[in-house]
């Protein structure tokens, strides 16, 4: 339920604060006064797309704030839009995304505008209404799951349907590529190993000379580092006998001599192992060239070449086993279609049961709306072998407004007034199972008047008795049925056009209804008529 609504700088509304209660609330006023702007502001608050054209001239931004009450308590939603098109939204001061507002809005408010009269004529909308009424979300989800699987298998099969010539051409191509890569037999990490080994082989002579020189300096030549370290170590040992404080220096020098010995051994092994090998150099360079040719053809890196090899291996397997895979897919598709057909049949049966109840319920409501003789039913026809994400059914609302007439599609015969009443009857039936807190009707009374208008007002009041209903109306018969009445008027203040909204009661309400009956001039007759309408509501 909407408890309060605050609007700032929204089109002709400069500043507006309203409080609401349960029941039917009517909004009346002359055409262009701004009644529908209130509905647009509420829609914007709950995630509908905004327009910078709504920002009042001279204002930096517009804002709408609503206080809602639900089973979990009260909460506040606020949304703004600046002149540059930037939007912000918050729930209880915490930022939320527009998608979250939209999801929340679907649970809070059910909008019904004038354009929905026409959407009611579409088969898809009629099917959705039937599914909502029958609470068929689970069987519908099961159908959609099966349809997705069946559709995916068919797409895979279609992608495999190539000509035999094309299949053979691809087999030859992939075999050639596989053989070319396999002939080289690249291995992961091979390039790095080549890059490490080649520099050593190319510079073997220089490395050998340097290794021999270093080994001689460390160990081999007279006065080598190892010899000098040993002499120094002996001298320090004698000194340590005379001064114990030098024992640490003796140990350090011993470690240095041992390290020098280890380095000498490593150099000797390196020197003995290195040698010039021109054939090995040529072999490695040739290997690098082969890998480079593969990379030019099949990938920028060796890993990419290996990935390509794995890909064509799979492709070859599929092409060479084409018949077996096609047969397996055919079998899988047949089974998936069988499952889909079974679920579509279950959904069809559920829709048939729901259609019977919906048709009877709407027909009862139509009697209250001045269509006592009308007959309405919901046709559900299964189109065998035709599958879609919503099943195999074609749903059609059928109506015979007058006795003796055959049932025909709603879109073929219904007038604007009849459409309004059928939609209201549907909303009334659906509302019994709907948990939406607020229903909003923007001129649902289009095309009706007089006694029919009174019947529409009574039906809206009935809906309001079960929750909260807003109705924008031009009919005094509808306005009189409201529990709460707001009058919307346009005026000028400070040289600017502004819209004001006033809650009406007692004498002011009688005068407003009298103007709806007789125009701007209020007469004793129109006042009397207005008073009678209000008293009889």
Tokens encoding 451: 């006694």
- Asked whether the predicted pLDDT for residue 204 surpasses 70, the reply is no
Our CA angle for 183, 188, 193, nearest 5°, is: 100
- Residue 78 φ then ψ, to 5°: -135, 135
* Predicted pLDDT of residue 413: 66
Phi-psi region of 19 (alpha: psi -120 to 50; beta: other; left: phi over 0): beta
Length of the chain in terms of residues written: 537
Which DSSP string do the residues of 407-425 spell out, in sequence order? PEEHHHH--HHHHHHHHHH
Three-state SS for 110-139 is: EEECCCHHHHCCCHHHHHHHHHHHHCCHHH
Q: Nearest to residue 27, comparing CAs of 535, 499, 533?
A: 499
Distance CA 468, CA 115 (A): 22
Q: If you average pLDDT over residues 32-37, what whole number do you get?
A: 82
* 325, 315 Cβ separation under 8 angstroms: no
pLDDT digits 0-9 by tens, 364-390: 888 888 888 888 899 999 998 899 999
| pLDDT > 70? residue 277 | no
What average pLDDT does the structure give for the chain? Answer: 86
Q: Say what the pLDDT of residue 116 is.
A: 57
Over residues 166-180, the mean pLDDT reads: 89
Residue 485 has pLDDT above 90, yes or no: yes
SS (H, E, C) 42-61: HHHHCCCCCCHHHECCCCCE
Per-residue pLDDT band for 121 (boundaries 50, 70, 90) equals confident
Handedness of CA 391, 394, 399, 403 (dihedral sign): negative
338: its two tokens? 């069988």
pLDDT in tens, 496-519: 888 999 999 999 999 999 998 887
Query: How many angstroms separate the Cα of 266 from the Cα of each of 206, 256, 269, 524?
Result: 17, 15, 5, 121
- Average pLDDT for residues 32-46, to the nearest whole number? 88
What does the block give as tokens for 276? 């010039």
% of the chain residues with pLDDT over 70: 92
Nearest CA to 48 out of 99, 88, 3 is that of 99
- What gap in Å lies between CA 491 and CA 518, rounded to an integer? 21
Q: State the Cα–Cα distance between residues 79 and 64, nearest whole angstrom.
A: 6
User: Within 13 A of 465's CA, how many CA atoms are on the CB side?
Assistant: 8
179: pLDDT strictly greater than 90: yes
**pLDDT for position 87:** 93
| CA dist 63 → 53, 257, 274 (Å) | 13, 84, 82
For residue 287, what pLDDT is reported?
A: 86
Do β-strands 61-70 and 73-82 pair in parallel, antiparallel, or remain unpaired?
A: antiparallel
CB atoms under 10 Å from CB of 535, counted, come to 9
Higher-pLDDT residue of 535, 271: 535
Residue 416: the pLDDT is: 64
**How far, in Å, CA of 379 to CA of 387, rounded?**
18
pLDDT higher for 367 or 162? 367
Does an H or E element contain 500, and which?
A: strand 496-504
- 3-state per-residue secondary structure call for 272-321: HHCCCCHHHHHHHHHHHHHHHHHHHHHCCCHHHHHHHHHHHHHHHHHHHC
Pairwise CA distance, residues 248 & 394, whole Å: 99
Residue 205 reports pLDDT greater than 70: no
Per-residue confidence at 433, pLDDT binned at 50, 70, 90?
Answer: low
Looking at residue 453, what is its pLDDT? 84
Kindly report, residue by residue over 389-418, the tens digit of the pLDDT.
999 999 999 988 888 888 988 877 656 667
Angle at 481 between CA 478 and CA 482, to 5 degrees: 100
pLDDT band at 428 (very low <50, low <70, confident <90, very high): confident
Q: What pLDDT is attached to residue 215? A: 74
pLDDT given at position 206: 72
Q: Report which DSSP code applies to 244.
A: G
Query: Helix or strand or coil: residue 445?
Result: coil
pLDDT at 202 over 70: no
Q: pLDDT > 90: what percent of the chain? A: 41
70 or 336, which is more confident? 336
Residues 326 and 146: their CA atoms lie apart, in Å, by: 20
Range in 118-127, 133-142, 484-493 with the lowest mean pLDDT: 118-127
Is the pLDDT at 117 greater than 60? The verdict is no
Most confident listed range (185-189, 316-320, 368-372): 185-189
């Amino acid at each position: 339920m909407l408890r309060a609504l605050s609007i700032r700088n929204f089109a002709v509304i400069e500043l507006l604060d309203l409080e609401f209660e349960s029941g039917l609330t009517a909004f009346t006023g002359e055409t262009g006064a701004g009644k529908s702007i209130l509905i647009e502001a509420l829609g914007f608050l709950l995630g509908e797309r905004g327009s910078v054209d709504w920002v009042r001239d001279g204002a930096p931004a517009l804002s709408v704030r609503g206080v809602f009450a639900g089973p979990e308590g009260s909460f506040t939603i606020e949304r703004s839009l600046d002149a540059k098109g930037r939007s912000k939204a918050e729930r209880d001061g915490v930022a939320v995304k527009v998608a979250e507002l939209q999801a929340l809005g679907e649970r809070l408010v059910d909008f019904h505008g004038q354009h929905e009269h026409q959407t009611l004529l579409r088969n898809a909308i009629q099917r959705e209404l039937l599914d909502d009424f029958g609470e068929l979300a689970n069987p519908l989800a099961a159908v959609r799951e099966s349809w997705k699987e069946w559709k995916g298998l068919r797409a895979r099969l279609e992608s495999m349907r190539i000509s035999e010539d094309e299949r053979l051409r691809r087999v030859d191509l992939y075999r050639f590529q596989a053989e070319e890569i396999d002939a080289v037999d690249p291995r992961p990490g091979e390039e790095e190993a080549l890059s490490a080994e080649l520099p050593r082989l190319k510079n073997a002579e220089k490395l050998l000379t340097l290794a021999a020189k270093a080994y001689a300096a460390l160990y081999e030549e007279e006065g080598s580092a190892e010899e000098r370290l040993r002499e120094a170590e002996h001298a320090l040992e004698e000194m340590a006998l005379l001064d114990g404080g030098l024992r640490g220096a003796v140990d350090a020098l011993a470690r240095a001599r041992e390290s020098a010995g280890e380095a000498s051994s490593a150099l000797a092994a390196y020197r003995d192992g290195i040698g010039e090998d021109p054939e090995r150099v040529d072999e490695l360079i040739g290997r690098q060239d082969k890998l480079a040719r593969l990379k030019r053809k099949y990938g920028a890196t060796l890993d990419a070449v290996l990935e390509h090899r794995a890909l064509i291996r799979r492709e070859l397997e599929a092409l060479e086993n084409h018949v077996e895979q096609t047969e397996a897919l055919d079998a899988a598709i047949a089974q998936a279609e069988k499952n889909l057909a079974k679920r579509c049949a279950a959904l069809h049966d559920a829709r048939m049961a729901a259609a019977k109840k919906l048709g009877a319920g709407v027909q009862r409501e139509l009697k209250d709306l001045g269509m006592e003789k009308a007959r309405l039913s919901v046709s559900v026809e299964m189109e065998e072998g035709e599958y879609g994400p919503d099943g195999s059914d074609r749903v059609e609302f059928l109506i015979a407004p007058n006795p003796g007439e055959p049932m025909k599609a709603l879109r073929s015969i219904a007038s604007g007034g009849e459409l309004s009443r059928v939609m209201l009857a549907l909303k009334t039936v659906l509302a019994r199972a709907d948990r939406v807190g607020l229903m909003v009707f923007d001129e649902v009374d289009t095309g009706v008047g007089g006694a029919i208008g009174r019947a529409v007002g009574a039906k809206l009041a009935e809906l309001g008795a079960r929750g909260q209903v807003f109705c924008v109306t031009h009919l005094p018969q509808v306005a009189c049925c409201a529990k709460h009445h707001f009058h919307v008027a346009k005026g000028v203040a400070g040289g600017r056009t502004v819209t004001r909204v006033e809650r009406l009661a007692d004498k002011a309400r009688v005068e407003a209804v009298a103007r709806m009956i007789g125009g701007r001039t209020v007469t004793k007759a129109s006042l009397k008529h207005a008073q009678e309408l209000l008293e009889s509501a």
